[in-house]
Structure 1
Amino acid sequence: MVNWKEAPQLPKAEGRIAAIDLARGIAIGLMIVSHTVSGLIGIRNVPDWGMVPIHLLTKFSSSLFILVFGIALAVAFLSHTQSDDWPKRRLKLWLRAIEVWFWYKALIIIEMLPFSSPGDIVDTLLYGRFGIWVEILGFYAIALLWVPLILPLWARAPLWSRIATLVGLTALSAWLQGLSFGGNDILKALLVDHPDHYAWGQISRAPLILVGLLVGEALLRCYFTAHLRRRLVLILLAVGALMVMAFYGLALADNRVYAAMMAVANNAGKHPPGLEFMLFSVGGALILLALALAGGAAAARALLPLTVVGSDALKAFIFHIVMIFLVLRFLLQGEGMYTYPQALAISGVLILGAAVWIWVTRWIAAHR
């Protein structure tokens, strides 16, 4: 029975949970596929069979990535918020924010280098505009500044207030989306998304982080007990399936199933978040998360490259952006030179390459 007045009661994780790394690796893998295709051949040149189903399925990536961000925070930090070493752990998160922000700005230069003027690049670095492919790092850099401030409050809050906060932020984001912010499109994009920018709004995406915190709490309670873990997996599968079914139900009601799938594949409803896009994206993310948790350590070993990629998301992100935009687009002038199947093959190579790069850098660090 659910106790709505209960604050989180979190056991310590019994070692690293490989299934979380696998789920994060799946999110990054889908992101690499999407970025490789859009970065090398452009969405307009993708054949219909590439948009639906292949590119459509990559839309699970961003929601899964943000969900796992919240889960990882709950698993690694939430239970420590009332301990004496919390200031040190909080500082660790803030230092991570600085590191992510640095790479966000460095990768903006790499993303824009092939076809943008120095003035446009500087303007983007100074938040005069936004890039496209690396903006998710900008979101995480800012989120890592405010999330450590709310974790101690979240750890003491009863369940009803945590859920109320989640619902309230969702409603607030929808209301703010109708405001003009005095014509300051950059501020609006940073807070609640903007249709003309690829930035991820902190308020509009915060509910996904909070859902991740709730799932992370449940994961710590359930993962190491077989029957509880099965129950959690079934709940996540059921909720995810219902959300995807709701997406198709809305499309069927208007007799536009294929058009709705094409719209989602083309990012309609991604910035700012729209109902149909989020039903499909979050629903699929929950299904993938449930499958990763169900597979556990065995699945993590079987899909080792994805697990390794998920164990160091920042390094994997840096690797694929450098390879796509600095090496393939700029140095080799490869934009438009590849077919869609070739771009898919390159994305597979980049996933494996990112895993190898992470392993090599760890090996070097261990043998210094």
Structure 2
Amino acid sequence: MPMAIAWNETPHLPKAESRIEAIDLARGIAIGLMIVSHSVSGLVGIRNVPDWGMVPIHFLTKFSSSLFILVFGVALAVAFLSHVNREDWPKRRLKLWLRAVEVWFWYKALLIIEMLPFNTPSEIVDALLYGRFGIWVEILGFYAIALLWVPLILPLWARAPLWGRLAVIALLTSLAAWLQGVSFGGNEILKALLVDHDDHYAWGQISRAPLILLGLLLGEALLRCSGDPLLKRRLTLISLGLGALMIAGFYGLALAGGDVYAAMLAVANNEGKHPPGVAFMLFSLGGALVIFALALAGGDKAARALKPLTLVGSDALKAFIFHIVMIFLVLRFLLEGKGDYSYPQALGVGGLLILGAAAWIWSTRWMARHR
């Protein structure tokens, strides 16, 4: 099967013969980086991180958010896009909507846990009613909403020619940038939910939609490569090359600005994350593509060698719940541990939580099999 795709061609979606563990590995790496970042910011605080921790360690964790959303799109393409024209599509669409309800429930439950150590009950209620936002669990709020609209666009996406799909990605990116200058009638919450806001740590649906759609394209390409090592190698090299070019673009901007270290430190401090900035997204998305390419190149062997990360990536919601509960309910609230950890200790906690999440996922599956 040729790798080249005609501009007028609609998605070619052969059915995956089995679970693609490279996807789980890539998602597991994203969650692992997120857990390390949350452990540091939740137990130490960004202001207390030493310079050597900000760059390179905290700097490199910025790959996680883009990688997480990108792989979300890849997984949707692999598991659902090929079914939109089949009889079982209504059942699968309902499954996605029920998943949205489940994610939304855990988003609100974990929001309470996140805010317990340092917010009043009235502030927590305000956040539960979308009067304000938290920080660490807001990515779940993004997924809960995304899982409502994504099933509606998948049938349209499956019928659209390649040029149309690429145009939608470009138009949404441009629209999100333009909407940053719109006041939304002074409604900061609405703006944050749609396109991000400087004063809120929410993830905008329109501003992040291009990442999901790019993931759909990658997922389609991955399915086309199924069973063909040469095509898979080409996809790997294309993803790796594109990611490397984006990272090079970030460093090009940094050099043009005259201070590369300052540009790296800005990314480590989340400048350009909410709302998305050019420099931040070049680095974050570029790194995400590189990691995705490396996961593809490693394949099943890498997935087995890095089994804890693969396990974490195979059940992202359970891993997310585990690390938020441990950091904010157990360590920060019950044990009153904020400020008691050094930066190296927080990194160690992050590593242990990755292993703990993997062990929790494995043990719950073992118990389910032996009931």
Asked if these proteins are the same fold (TM beyond 0.5), I'd say yes
Q: Please tell me the residue identity of whatever aligns with 1:115.
A: F
Counterpart-to-counterpart distance in 1, 2:158 and 2:97: 19
Q: Determine the structure 1 residue equivalent to 2:289.
A: 286
Query: CA-to-partner distance for each residue in 1:251-301, whole Å, 9 max, x for gaps?
Result: 101211000000000000000000000000000000000000000000000
Q: Determine the structure 1 residue equivalent to 2:322.
A: 319
Q: Determine the structure 1 residue equivalent to 2:184.
A: 181
Q: Please tell me the residue identity of whatever aligns with 1:121.
A: I
Report runs of 4+ in structure 1 exceeding 6 Å deviation: none
Query: CA-to-partner distance for each residue in 1:180-230, whole Å, 9 max, x for gaps?
Result: 000000000000000100100000000000000000000001142111111
Counterpart-to-counterpart distance in 1, 2:169 and 2:227: 27
TM-score if structure 2 supplies the norm length?
Answer: 0.99
Q: Determine the structure 2 residue equivalent to 1:253.
A: 256
Contact 2:16/2:226 (<8 A) preserved: no
For residue 242 of structure 1, report the CA deviation from its aligned partner. 0.3
Contact 2:29/2:313 (<8 A) preserved: yes
Structure 2: gaps (5+ residues): none
Contact 2:58/2:268 (<8 A) preserved: yes
Counterpart-to-counterpart distance in 2, 1:199 and 1:356: 30
Q: How does 1:41-56 map onto structure 2 within 5 Å? A: 41-56=44-59
Q: Determine the structure 1 residue equivalent to 2:218.
A: 215
Q: Please tell me the residue identity of whatever aligns with 1:196.
A: D
Q: How does 1:1-368 map onto structure 2 within 5 Å? A: 1-368=4-371
Counterpart-to-counterpart distance in 1, 2:271 and 2:216: 27
Contact 2:38/2:136 (<8 A) preserved: yes
Q: Please tell me the residue identity of whatever aligns with 1:306.
A: L
Query: CA-to-partner distance for each residue in 1:296-336, whole Å, 9 max, x for gaps?
Result: 00000000000000000000000000000000000110000
Counterpart-to-counterpart distance in 1, 2:70 and 2:44: 29
For residue 98 of structure 1, report the CA deviation from its aligned partner. 0.1
Q: Please tell me the residue identity of whatever aligns with 1:240.
A: G
Query: CA-to-partner distance for each residue in 1:15-64, whole Å, 9 max, x for gaps?
Result: 00000000000000000000000000000000000000000000000000
For residue 125 of structure 1, report the CA deviation from its aligned partner. 0.2
Contact 2:15/2:223 (<8 A) preserved: yes
Comparing 216-225 and 49-58, the one that deviates more: 216-225
Counterpart-to-counterpart distance in 2, 1:242 and 1:223: 26
Contact 2:72/2:212 (<8 A) preserved: yes
For residue 81 of structure 1, report the CA deviation from its aligned partner. 0.3
Q: Please tell me the residue identity of whatever aligns with 2:31.
A: I
Q: RMSD across aligned C-alpha pairs, in angstroms?
A: 0.5
For residue 133 of structure 1, report the CA deviation from its aligned partner. 0.1
Q: Secondary structure at the match of 1:132?
A: coil
Query: CA-to-partner distance for each residue in 1:151-183, whole Å, 9 max, x for gaps?
Result: 011001110100000101001101111000000
Q: Please tell me the residue identity of whatever aligns with 1:325.
A: F
Matched length: 368
Counterpart-to-counterpart distance in 1, 2:8 and 2:35: 42
Counterpart-to-counterpart distance in 1, 2:353 and 2:143: 22
Counterpart-to-counterpart distance in 1, 2:15 and 2:143: 25
Q: Secondary structure at the match of 1:358?
A: helix
Structure 1: gaps (5+ residues): none
Counterpart-to-counterpart distance in 2, 1:272 and 1:192: 7
Q: Secondary structure at the match of 2:217?
A: helix
